[in-house]
Amino acid sequence: MSDDLPGKVTPPLPEPKRHTAPLSPPRRPRWQRILIRAMGLAIAVILTWLILAYLILPVLWRHYEHHPIMERAPKITRTAQGIPGDPLNVGLIGSKEELIQSMLNSGWDAADPITLRSSLAIARSVLRNRPDADAPVSNLYLFGRKQDLAFEKPVGTSARHRHHVRFWESSDYGRDGIPLWIGAVTYDRSVGFSRRTGQITHHIGPDIDAERNGLIADLQSHGWLTEEFQVTGVGPTLSGRNGGGDRYFTDGELTIGVLASSSVPDRSPSALKNPVAIRIKDQLWSAIRPLLQSLPDPQDQDSR
């Protein structure tokens, strides 16, 4: 007997549930995938560079094993206005007499102090294109005072161009009671106006390492050095600016020589080696140095 009553509508049976797989997100266009990967790679490179440049390499490229006291030494000179000046890149251990004798004997002349007479003489040298072997150098400051001694080596027939070095005596950074004469040696390539103060000044060439190496080579060739080594100076610098606004670059090393009491021709000084990390840095620097030498200075509008 049927359970259906007359007039009763039987509801339809529910359809069985269908299990469908979740829809996957639409695939990004190829150019978007390439862009995201490139951005990720760029971020990784930048982070790696920041870690190397600001954390690891500054530690690896600092060394004072041959003269530990130099870790506390100043690294740069100052102008009279307190502006950072030329980096310190050379030092000589010896008496005042040994320093003067060795420099004069190695082809350098003592610079005159700045007076009205010496200032007029250097002006005539520049204007008339005549040499002035004893032309004065402007004052820079270290240990609260101007340079104790200054020397120059003329180039050509005018005081526009010359190698010059300023020295400051320091007993604190010397050795065995013998003072260290810490110095800044640069090359004057032209005369013009300071970009920072507007005063008339010499403008230096950017490759200050060449000047450091040249001074040490002069002393070596004349037999005045018994020992030579390096410590970290201002540190590797790709584009620094001195007190006159001039660009310079440097591997950051400060070369120190120990002076002999007398000249011995063909003397070969004892050369103390740098650590391995510094030697690797020097190899890298020698690879990029030609590029740095070829870069023009966008602010250089001075006559040469």
Hey, what are 129's tokens? Answer: 């294109």
Q: Write out the chain's pLDDT in tens, 304 residues.
A: 455 555 555 666 666 666 565 666 677 788 888 888 899 899 988 888 777 766 677 777 899 999 999 999 999 999 999 999 999 999 999 999 999 999 999 999 998 765 445 444 444 455 445 544 556 688 999 999 999 999 999 887 666 688 999 999 999 999 999 999 999 999 988 665 556 655 556 689 999 999 999 999 999 999 999 999 999 999 999 999 998 889 999 999 999 999 999 999 888 999 999 999 999 999 999 999 999 999 886 555 444 4
CA Rg, the chain, in Å?
A: 33
Q: Are 176 and 89 contacting, i.e. CB atoms less than 8 angstroms apart?
A: no
**Dist. CA 58–CA 281, nearest whole Å:** 11
> Tell me, what's the pLDDT at 9?
59
> Tell me, what's the pLDDT at 30?
83
Hey, what are 279's tokens? Answer: 């030697």
**Dist. CA 63–CA 277, nearest whole Å:** 9
> Tell me, what's the pLDDT at 282?
95
The number of beta carbons lying within 10 Å of the beta carbon of residue 243 is 25
> Tell me, what's the pLDDT at 100?
96
**Dist. CA 138–CA 119, nearest whole Å:** 10
Which residue in this structure is represented by tokens 């070369």?
A: 255
Comparing CA positions, the residue from 103, 99, 166, 105 lying closest to residue 137 is 166
Whether the pTM exceeds 0.85: the reply is no
> Tell me, what's the pLDDT at 91?
98
**Dist. CA 17–CA 301, nearest whole Å:** 84
Q: Are 259 and 106 contacting, i.e. CB atoms less than 8 angstroms apart?
A: no
Contacts 24+ apart (CB under 8 A), 161-164: 161/187, 161/188, 161/189, 161/190, 162/135, 162/187, 162/188, 163/108, 163/187, 163/188, 163/211, 163/214, 163/215, 164/111, 164/137, 164/188
Contacts 24+ apart (CB under 8 A), 278-282: 278/61, 278/63, 278/230, 278/253, 281/57, 281/60, 281/61, 281/236, 281/251, 282/251, 282/253
